[in-house]
Amino acid sequence: MSLTFENVTLGQRVLFGYGRAARNLGAEVDRLCARRVMVIAAPPEAEIADRVTTGLPVVLRHSDVRPHVPVEKAEAARAAAAGCGADLLVCVGGGSTTGLAKAVALTTRLPIVAVPTTYAGSEATNVWGLTEASRKTTGVDDAVLPVTVVYDSELTMSLPVGLSVASGLNAAAHCVDSMWAPRTNPINQAFAMEGLRAVVDGLRRIARRPDGVDGRDAALYGCYLSGVAFTSAGSGLHHKICHVLGGAYDLPHAQTHATVLPYVLELNARGAPDAARRIATALGSATPVAGLNALREELDAPRALADYGMRREDIPEAARLVLPYVPADNPVPVGIEELTDMLTRAWAGEPAQDREVD
């Protein structure tokens, strides 16, 4: 049987180097001929943002960042960008910060230069998300893809190991979901598995030596590949579940992804044996679930949605909210029963069940 597929890889400039963020960011501002820069950074990243943007033509520093990008925060940031006459957005921080910059770019079409401080991977995607009345809406628009990403592992050194693990497992979820997402193909699968291998290696190194550059570099490299794979392959079941949970119950983004991943992997692996084998190989295990379970145990990963504020009584509603977004070509059929089971076990933190790959 001949190999037939379609692949789209988005154009984006990536500058990678330890201790080079300020230099690389300055070069990009010059290259883009920007004269009025709006910097978006949440208060915890203010010191980093000030350091890497010193000497740039900054006209506004915007710090009102919230997870899941509430519509009212997006509107305020858009008004601020218009009010200061910004011609470039520079976002310094994690996925929430990048998400707010994307919300501004969605309507203003201003270019973004992203400077990540976590392993979210959203800086490599053209996906935006906004939350209104406890419902999160996502979409795709090339205008929100940052024109440049400046990666510098020095900026992640202050990220505690626990948050590094949650953020890195979010990137791992991008990789796993890409193996059976609606537009999966051999190219984005290759990106996904190299990304997963690098993220896993990086997280293990970070856990052993938090101040080591090699681990931080590997995790950043892997998270970039995870974003590229996810953008190309599209959003699979895992991301549909997590986006609904985040918007409806204001659950923390990275921890939610890290917690839900094992149950989606357990469900879908039996319907996609080739993908399951490749995931197991990237995890260095005989089976994908065993590999992920062992990794999560080793890293003391987030375990239960109950730990992050979800109530057991929310599960039936959550299952109903997710159901319309289940991809039609998911490897196995998913109905309300399967969703309820996954959410119940993720809420309680029960171990995902291992099984042999066919």
Give yes or no for a contact between 178 and 233, defined as CB atoms under 8 angstroms apart. yes
Asked whether the predicted pLDDT for residue 6 surpasses 60, the reply is yes
**Half-sphere exposure of residue 226, counting CA atoms within 13 Å on the CB side?**
28
pLDDT band of residue 1 (cuts 50, 70, 90) is low
**pLDDT tens for residues 25-73?**
999 999 999 999 999 999 999 999 999 999 999 999 999 999 999 999 9
pLDDT band of residue 122 (cuts 50, 70, 90) is very high
**pLDDT tens for residues 289-341?**
999 999 999 999 999 999 999 999 999 999 999 999 999 999 999 999 999 99
Give yes or no for a contact between 213 and 18, defined as CB atoms under 8 angstroms apart. yes
pLDDT band of residue 250 (cuts 50, 70, 90) is very high
Token couple for 208 = 């052993």
Average pLDDT over residues 266-275: 96
| pLDDT reported for residue 3 | 86
Average the pLDDT over each of 5-14, 182-191, 209-218, 261-270 and give the range with the smallest value: 5-14
Per the model's pLDDT, the better-predicted residue between 11 and 29 turns out to be 29
Average pLDDT over residues 236-251: 95
Average pLDDT over residues 213-242: 96
Burial of 304 (0-12, 13-18, 19+ CB in 10 A): middle
Average pLDDT over residues 126-131: 95
Using N-to-C axis directions, what is the helix angle for 336-348 and 253-269, rounded to 10°? Answer: 130
Residue (of 304, 298, 268, 272) closest to 285 by Cα position: 298
- Distance (Å, rounded) from C-alpha 117 to C-alpha 155? 6
- Distance (Å, rounded) from C-alpha 159 to C-alpha 167? 10
Neighbours of 184 (CB within 10 A): 23
Asked whether the predicted pLDDT for residue 2 surpasses 80, the reply is no
| pLDDT reported for residue 210 | 97
Asked whether the predicted pLDDT for residue 75 surpasses 60, the reply is yes
Asked whether the predicted pLDDT for residue 74 surpasses 90, the reply is yes
**pLDDT tens for residues 131-148?**
999 899 999 999 999 999
Asked whether the predicted pLDDT for residue 354 surpasses 90, the reply is no
Neighbours of 318 (CB within 10 A): 23
Percentage, residues of the chain above pLDDT 70? 99
**pLDDT tens for residues 135-184?**
999 999 999 999 999 999 999 999 999 999 999 999 999 999 999 999 99
Asked whether the predicted pLDDT for residue 356 surpasses 70, the reply is no
Residue (of 272, 138, 119, 125) closest to 196 by Cα position: 119
Asked whether the predicted pLDDT for residue 90 surpasses 90, the reply is yes
The sign of the CA dihedral 253, 255, 261, 263 is: negative
The set of residues, in sequence order, having a beta carbon less than 8 Å from that of 345 and lying 6+ positions away, is 263, 352
**Half-sphere exposure of residue 220, counting CA atoms within 13 Å on the CB side?**
26
Token couple for 175 = 């990789």
Among the residues of the chain, which ranges form H helices? 21-31, 46-53, 71-84, 95-108, 161-178, 186-208, 213-233, 237-249, 253-269, 273-283, 288-299, 315-322, 336-348
Report which residue type is found at 269: A
For 15, left (φ over 0), alpha (ψ -120 to 50), or beta?
beta
Mean pLDDT of the chain: 96
Give yes or no for a contact between 144 and 102, defined as CB atoms under 8 angstroms apart. yes
| pLDDT reported for residue 212 | 97
pLDDT band of residue 245 (cuts 50, 70, 90) is very high
Could you tell me how far CA 245 lies from the centroid of its own chain? 15
The residue behind tokens 């509603």 is 317
